Structure 1
Amino acid sequence: MQVSGFQNVLILIAITGFALMEFASRRYQATVHATANDTKLDLLVFISVVAVSQPLAILVTQGMGQAWFAQWQGAMADWPWWAMFGVLVLGDDLTQYLWHRASHSPLLWPLHRAHHSAQYMSVRMTFRNNFFYYLMMPGLWIAGVLLFLGIGGWVYVLYLSTKMTIILGAHCAWRWDEPLYKIRALSPLMWIVERTISTPATHWAHHALTNKDGIGNYTGNFGNMLFLWDVVFGTAHITRKYPEYIGLMDDRIHGQEHWAHQMFYPLAHSKREDSALRFGGTIYDENKPI
């Protein structure tokens, strides 16, 4: 089996495992009330990432590298695996933290808004974003460059599988960390875990409908694989609690944006005047009166 095929198998196993736990715990049935509009967006974006964005980034960087920088191909091939893994953490996960944080600015918010428009948490919405959000994600292109420079394919599989397992777990409707907080003997370990990787408690807070309940933190908790970046850069908010409501207030007021507007903006525009998905539209601010 080729490296890329093995990578996809491992990620599929992680998705299936968390999905099964969502159903076994009945958290999916109780909390995920998705519409047909949600289903189209969740599914089509997932397909676009797997079939278009990631392969394209690797293909283009490999082609450009061979055409213009052939002398550098394989320059890092003799590095130990742990050094390769560390470079991937910096080149992919740290830059994704920064990209995610920047995507909460007015300029880039329309490309990330789809991820927050889901009114539920589940593995099914982990990849939910605008199509161009992924095409422009620095980490995908940096990973392609690192592979050209000789980062081992199997090291990349190990890295990406680990990262995706953590991210899927952070979005999962089954809150795997919740029972662990109740075990007193595990308290020191969980203190370390919740400050190192993204957990349901910290990432659900990022998807909260509001920050006013003391739990939500949609203006922080940006970490994807490593929550450590939030701790280091001062955007962490840890409560070990979960927000009651998920999603965007303007969608609750006006109804969902069409999946095509969410996925393909700026090629497709919303007709809502106060929508971030149209030129001249406004971004909802919960601190301003409706």
Structure 2
Amino acid sequence: MQNIVLVAIIVFFAALEIGSRRHKSFHATADDTKLEAFMFLALIAFSQPFIFAVTGKVCELVMPGQRGAWAELPWWALAAILLVGDDMTQYWWHRVSHTPLMWPLHRAHHTAHYMSIRITYRNNFFYYLMMPGLWISGVLIYLGLGSVYLVYIVVKLTVILGAHSAVRWDEPLYRIKWLHPLAWVLERTVSTPATHWAHHALTNDDGIGHYKGNFGNLLFLWDIVFGTAKITRRYPAHVGLEDDLVYGKERWFVEMFYPLFQSRREQSTLVRSRTITETPIDADPLQPASSRA
């Protein structure tokens, strides 16, 4: 059922992108399409079912009498548990993924030179297998949060697909003055195109890009609470990684299956013996790549 709902939401946003003709500006390569399609299929057909199956079996062994034990809690309590157990941990997982150690597993998400719902699940194969929020969600479903999780995940997917969408649904909120109060609340509560596009920006030098923050998935509130938020109500002119412009893009299977496959590119983080970093930890990785080589 979750996958059916997911496909329906994707079809809705895809129709918006096609109807607005925003998809004409993507200029996606064959490798872009393969990476996005195979990662989406891998997540819904293998990674998530595998994680939920394993957590279910482990929970049966470790706490056999606790199946459904939390099911009678109020819905708002169950929702709060999911927001912390899944969404807040995903915020921290995303934030940690911008460190040199974890960056190779998240880099693929930032190599797209366009914003679209098609890049929402564009990541390394092992990025999702290691995501704490999915494992915690599996345990919570065992404890009785399954029905609430279905509603929660629909809301979450709608928000994160909307945040990546080429159709900037939040733009009228900033343009129409009487909608400004609503915009103020929304942009501090959930991820919007303006805040999330800034995270994907090609550069931080334009005053819009914020590569070191805006990590939230469903709730942008985590960025507010943990001090990583930047709100400009503007959109970067370009997204992606400058290294790809200088050295050429990585092959799709290297981005998806690193470290099983490694890069042959002149400069790359997808080689275990190299120490080049593209992540904004000690220095801004979005400065010209030639100055970091």
- Shorter-chain TM-score bucket reads over 0.9
Displacement of 1:33 in angstroms is: 1.1
> What do residues 185-213 of structure 1 show as CA deviations (whole Å, max 9, x unaligned)?
11011001001000000000000001111
Match of 1:201 among 194, 197, 205: 194
Q: Does 1:234 align with 2:223?
A: no
Match of 2:20 among 25, 30, 47: 25
Match of 1:286 in 2: 286
Match of 2:165 in 1: 172
Displacement of 1:67 in angstroms is: 1.7
> Is the 2:190–2:219 contact (alpha carbons within 8 Å) kept by the matching residues of 1?
yes
Match of 2:100 among 98, 106, 110: 106
> Is the 2:241–2:286 contact (alpha carbons within 8 Å) kept by the matching residues of 1?
no
> Is the 1:53–1:134 contact (alpha carbons within 8 Å) kept by the matching residues of 2?
yes
Match of 1:67 in 2: 61
Q: Does 1:49 align with 2:43?
A: yes
Q: Does 1:76 align with 2:70?
A: yes
Match of 1:181 among 169, 174, 195: 174
Match of 1:9 in 2: 4
Aligned length in residues: 283
> What do residues 127-184 of structure 1 show as CA deviations (whole Å, max 9, x unaligned)?
0000000000000000000011111x22111000000000000000011111221111
Match of 2:264 among 258, 271, 285: 271
Comparing 139-148 and 17-26, the one that deviates more: 17-26
- Give the AA of the match of 1:66: E
Displacement of 1:283 in angstroms is: 1.9
> Is the 1:274–1:283 contact (alpha carbons within 8 Å) kept by the matching residues of 2?
no
3-state SS, counterpart of residue 188 of structure 2: helix
Displacement of 1:286 in angstroms is: 3.1
- Give the AA of the match of 2:43: V
Contiguous gaps of at least 5 residues in structure 2: 279-284
Match of 2:242 in 1: 249
Displacement of 1:280 in angstroms is: 2.5
Distance 2:71 2:177 in 1: 45
3-state SS, counterpart of residue 195 of structure 2: helix
- Give the AA of the match of 1:42: E
Match of 1:159 in 2: 152
Match of 1:123 among 98, 117, 137: 117
Give the alignment's Cα RMSD to 1 decimal: 1.1
Distance 1:189 1:96 in 2: 26
Distance 1:157 1:193 in 2: 23
Q: Which runs of 4+ in 1 moved over 3 A?
A: none
> Is the 2:202–2:286 contact (alpha carbons within 8 Å) kept by the matching residues of 1?
no
Distance 2:62 2:189 in 1: 38
> What do residues 51-83 of structure 1 show as CA deviations (whole Å, max 9, x unaligned)?
111111110000011122102222212111121
Displacement of 1:86 in angstroms is: 1.0
Distance 2:66 2:52 in 1: 16
